[in-house]
Chains A and B, each alone.
Chain A
Amino acid sequence: ETGVTQSPTHLIKTRGQQVTLRCSSQSGHNTVSWYQQALGQGPQFIFQYYREEENGRGNFPPRFSGLQFPNYSSELNVNALELDDSALYLCASSFGGPGEQFFGPGTRLTVL
């Protein structure tokens, strides 16, 4: 059974650019959630996708958007990058609900 994978591992962008992060969910999981974790803080929920539809959203602006594909993999897109977007971006897959979520290793984004 393959776990959650994310790419790339690290990424450096400049302010105003756009970025796409990718996530492959664990086999059989139909729900993918994205989190942003700033240094020294707990992860903050961005949004969740279930069967290719956005199923809930945290307190993040519209320039954070996502997609889920038929194979349940997912993308997180961030437009007009700001310095405060520098963080570890985590993807988690699950069957949804309050049960266990399986997190990937994250993508470290640095915005200069």
Chain B
Amino acid sequence: LAKTTQPISMDSYEGQEVNITCSHNNIATNDYITWYQQFPSQGPRFIIQGYKTKVTNEVASLFIPADRKSSTLSLPRVSLSDTAVYYCLLGRAGSYQLTFGKGTKLSVIP
């Protein structure tokens, strides 16, 4: 699976929209893009997954450009409880594992 690169940390004020960009220049045709959220001393939690264009669910949006070499996780109007580490991963149909990097530590400031 191709490697992903994302910022180590980000700060945001409460109520703002946060965009976390992930780079995956060597993404393969059958790779999906998946984002997980993790709070301290808890297991990661699935946020959203997409293949191309835009995906939206009740907590986030995922924007994927046509070349799929990057993706952006968008969190609308963050609150203090959104302070967590966010991981961008690539998954492949038929593959059995998730490959996590170090993630982006998001700190939401009052």
Task: Name A's B-contacting residues (CB within 8 A).
Answer: 4, 31, 33, 35, 40-45, 48, 50, 55-56, 58, 88, 90-92, 96-106, 108
Of the listed residues A31, A33, A42, A102, the one surrounded by the most CB atoms of chain B closer than 10 A to its CB is: A42
- The answer to whether B101 touches A42, judged by C-beta atoms less than 8 angstroms apart, is yes
- The answer to whether A41 touches B41, judged by C-beta atoms less than 8 angstroms apart, is no
Residues of A within 8 A of B94 (CB): 97-98
- The answer to whether A48 touches B96, judged by C-beta atoms less than 8 angstroms apart, is yes
Alpha-carbon separation in the docked complex, A90 to B38 (Å): 12
Task: Name B's A-contacting residues (CB within 8 A).
Answer: 32, 34, 41-46, 49, 87, 91-103
- The answer to whether B95 touches A108, judged by C-beta atoms less than 8 angstroms apart, is no
Give which listed residue, B34, B43, B46, B93, contacts A104 with CB less than 8 A.
B43
- The answer to whether B45 touches A55, judged by C-beta atoms less than 8 angstroms apart, is no
Alpha-carbon separation in the docked complex, A48 to B34 (Å): 19
Identify the closest chain A residue to B34 (Cβ): A98
- The answer to whether B91 touches A98, judged by C-beta atoms less than 8 angstroms apart, is yes
Residues of A within 8 A of B44 (CB): 43, 90, 103
Give which listed residue, B46, B91, B98, contacts A33 with CB less than 8 A.
B98
- The answer to whether B96 touches A41, judged by C-beta atoms less than 8 angstroms apart, is no
- The answer to whether A33 touches B96, judged by C-beta atoms less than 8 angstroms apart, is yes
Distance to closest chain A CB from B51 (angstroms): 10
- The answer to whether B97 touches A56, judged by C-beta atoms less than 8 angstroms apart, is yes
Q: Which 6 interchain pairs have the tightest Cβ spacing?
A: A103-B43, A42-B100, A98-B91, A56-B96, A45-B97, A100-B46
Alpha-carbon separation in the docked complex, A41 to B38 (Å): 12
- The answer to whether B46 touches A55, judged by C-beta atoms less than 8 angstroms apart, is no
Residues of B within 8 A of A98 (CB): 32, 34, 49, 91-95
- The answer to whether A101 touches B46, judged by C-beta atoms less than 8 angstroms apart, is yes
Distance to closest chain A CB from B40 (angstroms): 10
Residues of B within 8 A of A4 (CB): 43
Alpha-carbon separation in the docked complex, A50 to B97 (Å): 12
